């Protein structure tokens, strides 16, 4: 079926939907509907406040993506300093410690549980009641094929094609002129767990309150999976093209005009700059950066940052020319060994 701007969630949305470019906004992490006082949070969480009692938190975020005004949690001494000295102004923590001026600690025995309580309060679970939510906004000339699922508060721009069995989950944003092939899932939960060995079940899932944002003229192949952010957004830049069976982890940001071939797996909190090409079956480790216009050849493993404007290959990755010369020398090892043995 073809759907043309008949699903709206606020007055005026239908009119704004006809703009050439969808407005993605500046917010790329979960913000509260309005700033929340630390006093209210302390009562809500039954937490002790140390530091700035008069502050207001504007949003919740995870440590790798925090910004000024954010609330973050930490429950392991290894990360205390990193969280307290990050851009976050408010820290849910399980130990009283020194805090920089202007910041506040919210002290509670179980910071993780406190974090989950906040997320579930401000971003409660909404069960689906049909294949196409009444709160979704669908742009002009966008085609939604039968059996596609569109969740709550989803926004899809103009001139898109959403093929059969595509799933676009709550709060995700799709730009204009986007093509999503059959069987792809946009906005699945992050693979992100709080692990503790002192409880019967070690791993507890952290609720994912981030989104997936797909900018204009992106094309996504069949059976891809793009996880939403834990609290930040997972973003695909304008003009980027994905082949089939690509996985993109939570909170990762893919730049503009990227090319990603089949069976590439990108872990969480990865920054891939504009114009990067990843060929088939490349694996990218978490929390790293790949520079502009880099090319990573097939079946490579990327364990750490890569500079832009170079071609890489291998596991661990290195510059392709260097790796090829290394292979030449490896092949000569038996010959060289024979010469060494004769000289002895």
Kindly tell me if the per-residue pLDDT of 1 is higher than 80: no
The topology (CATH level 3) of 31-122 is: 3.40.1390
The pLDDT of 131-157, averaged and rounded, is: 97
Phi, psi torsion values for 10, nearest 5 degrees: -155, 155
pLDDT-derived band at 26, boundaries 50, 70, 90: low
Residue 54: exposure state from Cβ atoms within 10 A (0-12, 13-18, ≥19) = exposed
**Which element (helix H / strand E) includes 271?**
strand 271-272
List, for residues 83-109, the tens digit of each pLDDT value: 999 999 999 999 999 999 999 999 999
Kindly tell me if the per-residue pLDDT of 243 is higher than 90: yes
Q: Please give the Cα distance from 172 to 22 (Å, whole number).
A: 13
Q: Lowest-confidence range among 12-16, 151-155, 206-210?
A: 12-16
Could you tell me which of 195, 29, 192 has the C-alpha nearest to residue 123? 29
- DSSP of 226-247, one letter per residue? EEPPSSB-EEE-TT-EE-TT-E
Supply angle C-alpha 19, 21, 27, rounded to 5: 115
Domain boundaries for CATH 2.160.10.10 within the chain: 137-323
* More confidently predicted of 269 and 333: 269
pLDDT-derived band at 9, boundaries 50, 70, 90: very low
Q: Lowest-confidence range among 41-45, 155-159, 199-203?
A: 199-203
Supply the pLDDT for residue 117.
96
Q: Please give the Cα distance from 317 to 320 (Å, whole number).
A: 8
Q: What is the DSSP letter of 287?
A: S
Domain 137-323 - what CATH class?
Answer: mainly beta
Place of tokens 């930040």: 232
Place of tokens 């060995």: 197
Supply the pLDDT for residue 340.
81
Longest Cα pair distance anywhere in the chain, in angstroms?
88
Domain boundaries for CATH 3.40.1390.10 within the chain: 31-122
Kindly tell me if the per-residue pLDDT of 67 is higher than 60: yes
The pLDDT of 305-316, averaged and rounded, is: 97
- Extract the tokens encoding 188: 């699945």
Supply the pLDDT for residue 333.
87
Supply the pLDDT for residue 343.
72
Kindly tell me if the per-residue pLDDT of 322 is higher than 90: yes
- Answer whether 269's CB lies under 8 Å from 289's CB: no
Kindly tell me if the per-residue pLDDT of 300 is higher than 80: yes
Q: Lowest-confidence range among 39-48, 244-253, 330-339?
A: 330-339
Q: How distant is the alpha carbon of residue 96 from its chain centre?
A: 31
Q: Lowest-confidence range among 19-28, 72-81, 255-264, 294-303?
A: 19-28
The pLDDT of 162-175, averaged and rounded, is: 98
* More confidently predicted of 202 and 21: 202
pLDDT-derived band at 278, boundaries 50, 70, 90: very high
Catalytic positions: 250
* More confidently predicted of 334 and 301: 301
Place of tokens 């508060």: 153
The percent of residues in the chain predicted with pLDDT above 70, rounded, is 92
Phi, psi torsion values for 340, nearest 5 degrees: -60, -45
Q: What is the mean pLDDT of the chain?
A: 90
Supply the pLDDT for residue 342.
78
pLDDT-derived band at 248, boundaries 50, 70, 90: very high
| Three-class SS state of 284 | strand
């Amino acid at each position: 079926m073809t759907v043309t701007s008949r699903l709206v969630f606020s007055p005026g949305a239908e009119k704004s939907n006809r703009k050439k470019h969808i407005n993605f906004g500046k917010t790329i992490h979960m913000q509260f509907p309005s700033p929340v006082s630390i006093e209210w949070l302390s009562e809500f969480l039954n937490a002790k406040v140390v530091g700035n009692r008069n502050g207001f938190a504007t949003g919740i975020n995870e440590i790798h993506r925090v910004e000024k005004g954010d609330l973050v949690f930490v429950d392991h001494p290894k990360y205390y300093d990193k969280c307290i000295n990050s851009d976050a102004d408010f820290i849910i923590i399980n130990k009283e410690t020194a805090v920089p001026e202007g910041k506040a600690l919210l002290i509670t025995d179980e910071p993780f549980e406190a974090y989950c309580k906040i997320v579930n309060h401000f971003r409660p679970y909404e069960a689906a009641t049909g294949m196409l939510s009444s709160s979704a906004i669908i742009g002009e000339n966008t085609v939604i094929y039968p059996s596609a699922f569109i969740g709550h508060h989803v926004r899809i721009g103009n001139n898109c094609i959403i093929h059969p069995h595509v799933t676009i989950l709550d709060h995700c944003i799709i730009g204009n002129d986007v093509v999503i092939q059959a069987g792809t899932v946009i906005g699945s939960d992050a693979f992100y767990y709080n692990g503790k060995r002192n409880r019967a079940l070690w791993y507890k899932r952290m609720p994912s309150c981030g989104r997936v944002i797909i900018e204009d003229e992106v094309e996504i192949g069949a059976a891809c999976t793009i996880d939403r952010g834990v609290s930040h957004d997972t973003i695909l830049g304008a003009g980027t093209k994905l082949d089939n069976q690509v996985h993109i982890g939570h909170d990762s940001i893919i730049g503009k005009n990227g090319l990603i071939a089949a069976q590439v797996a990108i872990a969480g909190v990865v920054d891939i700059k504009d114009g990067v090409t990843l060929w088939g079956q490349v694996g990218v480790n978490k929390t790293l950066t790949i520079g502009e216009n880099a090319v990573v050849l097939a079946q490579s493993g990327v364990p750490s940052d890569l500079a832009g404007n170079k071609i890489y290959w291998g596991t661990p990755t290195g510059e392709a020319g260097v790796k090829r010369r290394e292979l030449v020398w490896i092949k000569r090892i038996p010959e060289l060994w024979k010469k060494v043995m004769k000289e002895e």
